Structure 1
């Protein structure tokens, strides 16, 4: 935000200097090109006074301006998502006792526009908004997992509330078309964890040629009742969705593809008065690649998502056919 404000301020200074030079064609102006994008404008009120600038420490001046922008919190307002935005600001440029121009800086959704109005000539100059076509994003998906079909083997049945889904997504949102276009392309990379909590007192195992569900026995060969028995998978996904946004409403559709990073089973149970937790890392005949469809709906600051896996959770012939579905809310 500070860089955008500085760019807008440079534009104001440049235009104000141009207006001032047209009103009073005296003095000298030097434009110092700092890099490919930024320039510094030096203006003196009388011709030949450029040499007087040597008595000023320009480095100290720049540091002071930078410090002022950081400390003057009145220039900014706090948004609901925790970020800061530049407030709408207006001020007048004076040349002696004469009003030369009226400046209005407007910030909206991360973009800054500057309007300069020549008071004497009653004309308005519009400076093009600083609008980025692409923005970086970070989102968190929280939700639940289920399967799209039921099987005859009840050991695959899931505990709905315990079968949770979470993903951390880093990505970009790019506007497609002109500045008023409602179409966006969302893409990036995410790490996603799918938890499948089973209802019965069985733990999933990798058998000699198939997925097995076995019971854990105590010293007397009696089955142990589990407080928790689940399978957790961790995938690195690449999601891509197209989104249409109209005011506070947005809808998106696309897909994802991912590769398995890890998977493990975990059981929690009581044994001789103590709480025990056993974890077993294995591939469990899981498909290493996953792919599917993704749909999103958003209203104001709230987004909902659904992920549907087009391929089976397990390798063909190793377990029952199961296609996971994840759904929830995005922060």
Structure 2
């Protein structure tokens, strides 16, 4: 009777601990959902505001010029709201990663047991044994280049043109008794930066986004556009299965990995940042106008590596700018981490 009582108390204590403590992956997933909800809320609100303006225009309550001004005002407000609210979530994520590095956050265990006395008294409270679907926190960074007519533009942009991506992914083993094939899918934010060289900046001229002379010496010129995407890859994981106590286990991200797939999503925001000196004073100018960045994004991507680290490449199949006479597509090369 005492032994049974001890089992029950131990199980209840362990269950309470699990219920009260969020794991790292759960917290990352929560932040990702918050960002998705923020974007949806603000875009839905903008649609309502624009519809009201359109109704006023139809009823001749305002002029076309006044309607355009109001739409731009609402668009700027919603873009600023998205930026401010997402920045708060990004701060949470940064602190979360720091806490994980410092060991302050509980890891997502695949299995746990409670042992009492000898082997005969061992009780498995719950055994996940390398679940068929696992989750990872994804972080990637590298350089961006525009591709025009199959040629990479290495002259018009600085090497510091960069990208970084973070999100959460799920990895599902496709075969019941083989560890080679996995389906990897998730949700990511891709931050793309283009940094023109030679004191050039982006400008919307007659509906086309082109590089123009800034007319001054620039310390920084950067166009940033952020995409919320759903990536999906067929992953080949060469991690060997394990057999222990006549049981078969399928660990992942422990050996060479190769992923081939793509992504699709939409543009969240775009802005240009200029930094320069004016009469000895440092000036930082942000412009959140319409640079004709494609609203809808889709592309192909691949990675190859070992364990949690891999080399990463992605290529946007849609042009960066929608109305330009010559299509320019973004190519990104870098490194990627899948924290299992």
**Structure-1-length-normalised TM-score:** 0.61
Q: Where do residues 230-309 of structure 1 align in structure 2 (5 Å cutoff)? A: 230-247=222-239, 248-309=255-316
Deviation at 1:298, TM superposition (A): 1.6
CA contact (8 A) 1:155 1:198 kept: no
Higher relative helix content: 2
CA contact (8 A) 2:148 2:326 kept: no
Deviations along 1:202-229, whole A, 9 cap, x unmatched? 221112232233334xxxxxx3100111
**Which residue of the partner structure matches residue 146 of structure 1?**
145
**Which residue of the partner structure matches residue 249 of structure 2?**
none
Q: How far apart in 2 are the matches of 1:44 and 1:90?
A: 15
Which runs of 5 or more structure 1 residues have no equivalent in the other structure?
1-42, 46-52, 71-78, 94-99, 106-110, 113-128, 217-222
**Which residue of the partner structure matches residue 334 of structure 2?**
328
Deviation at 1:103, TM superposition (A): 4.9
Higher RCO, 1 vs 2 (CA within 8 Å, ≥6 residues apart): 2
**Structure-2-length-normalised TM-score:** 0.59
Q: How far apart in 2 are the matches of 1:102 and 1:293?
A: 53
Deviation at 1:266, TM superposition (A): 1.1
CA contact (8 A) 1:269 1:277 kept: yes
Which runs of 5 or more structure 2 residues have no equivalent in the other structure?
20-99, 240-254
**Which residue of the partner structure matches residue 162 of structure 2?**
164
Gap change, CA 1:149 and 1:69, over 3 Å in 2: closer
Q: Tell whether 2:200 aligns with 1:194.
A: no
**Which residue of the partner structure matches residue 312 of structure 1?**
319
Deviation at 1:59, TM superposition (A): 8.7
Q: Tell whether 2:99 aligns with 1:101.
A: no
Deviation at 1:179, TM superposition (A): 4.0
RMSD: 3.8
Q: Which one is further off, 79-88 or 270-279? A: 79-88
Q: Where do residues 170-185 of structure 1 align in structure 2 (5 Å cutoff)? A: 170-185=168-183
Gap change, CA 1:145 and 1:60, over 3 Å in 2: same
SS at structure 2 position matched to 1:315: coil
Q: How far apart in 1 are the matches of 2:114 and 2:8?
A: 27
Structure ID, larger Rg: 1
Deviation at 1:67, TM superposition (A): 8.5
Q: How far apart in 2 are the matches of 1:258 and 1:151?
A: 24
Deviation at 1:253, TM superposition (A): 0.1
Q: How far apart in 2 are the matches of 1:305 and 1:136?
A: 19
Q: How far apart in 2 are the matches of 1:60 and 1:103?
A: 15
SS at structure 2 position matched to 1:101: helix
Deviation at 1:66, TM superposition (A): 6.4
- Name the count of aligned residue pairs: 236
Higher relative strand content: 1
CA contact (8 A) 2:145 2:154 kept: no
Q: How far apart in 1 are the matches of 2:276 and 2:150?
A: 26
